[in-house]
Amino acid sequence: MSEPKTGVAAVLVSVQLPETSRVSNQSVTMNVYGVDKRVYRGRDWQQLQKNVAGKPPLAINQFVRQKKLKAMTVVSGQSTIQFRGQPSQAYLLVQKTKLTPFVAQGWVQPLMLRANDQMETIEAKGTTVVEQPYFYKYGTGNDGTKRPLAGAQFVLTQVVAGQRLYLTESGDWSGVQTATVQRFSSDKAGCVRYDGPTLSPGDYEFQEVEAPTGYAIDQAAQHVSVHVPASGQIQVQATALEPLVVDRVPAISASQEALRVYNHQLPTTDTSATEDQRVNGGTNKGQVTVSQKQHDQKARSAKRNTPFWLPQTNEERTSLAVAGGLIILVAAGLLRHYKHTYTSKKER
């Protein structure tokens, strides 16, 4: 075991590996990085430790590169690992791991610590990780907003000898889409996870076959590429995936734009548009949408211009009332006229 070169007496740092590692009886190898004060100066140390511990494999290695941390030593062990560090120096321990698709393995959470003269054995926390395909289904609204979509339906396909095959519920591959083809649905976060049988190394595609209500299937949603290597990270849309941690997609993956597959929202229609489509045969192509009220007004106006126009119920009542009033006035006038004429003749 190599030791970092220091000008003062080194401090023995002992880390007890998690139960998941001890049960497997497999050696765990960890890189020990020196952490410069600029990384944690002015920050809450405990919060920084928590944030670092929660980073999955790809994210923690990206953190190391971004912070330009230097590897001080490499240590291995089955139950405990030890190294000698400089007093007051901060260190980051990161497990060296080689992922294999669909194979679960132990993962020691990254550990950030400070060496001091009264070091006690530190217990590391562990979990399990596994590489499986996943991506996110999003929708673009008519106003340009983007949000996750639940309920989108996908099937998994592969091309063999020039023929497209579909994964079935039994784990077989069929040359036609039948009722037994396995479907994968997006959850409320928009996440589509593959939870079927182990896939052989090769290239696959997810195809969207049913969009959520109010959305159309975009061309890109019918060609979501998946590459499964013999070892290493699975790639979706040419993007390496973080492994599932305790059978959950890491939260950090949800923010990756490259893993989002979009559908666009269909134009919204209200009752007036629906009525217009009904009146015009359901096409509404190239036509101005009018409301039901406007449509009724136009219809009544058109009917009045026809030689055989008949009034509607309310109009008929109004017309009859006016006509009746006129008849009464005419009758009263005629009666008054005849009475006056009769009286004049009698006086003569």
Within 10 angstroms of residue 143's Cβ, the number of other Cβ atoms is 6
Place of tokens 């006129």: 326
Per-residue pLDDT of the chain (348 residues; tens, 9 = 90+): 444 444 456 899 999 998 876 666 678 999 999 999 999 989 999 999 999 999 999 999 999 999 999 999 999 998 999 999 998 899 999 999 999 999 999 999 999 999 987 777 899 999 999 999 999 999 999 999 999 999 999 999 999 999 999 999 999 999 988 889 999 999 999 999 999 999 999 999 999 999 999 999 999 999 999 999 999 999 999 999 999 999 999 999 999 999 999 999 999 875 444 444 333 333 333 333 334 444 455 445 444 444 434 444 444 455 555 566 666 665 666 666 555 554 554 444
Look up residue 66 and give its two tokens.
């971004």
Q: Name the helix (H) or strand (E) containing 313.
A: helix 313-347
Cβ–Cβ < 8 Å for 122, 49: no
Instruction: Show the domains of the chain with their CATH numbers.
Output: 11-129 (2.60.40), 134-265 (2.60.40.10), 269-317 (no CATH)
Distance (Å, rounded) from C-alpha 26 to C-alpha 79?
9
pTM of the full structure: 0.72
Q: What is the spatial distance between Cα 303 and Cα 55, in angstroms, rounded to a whole number?
A: 73
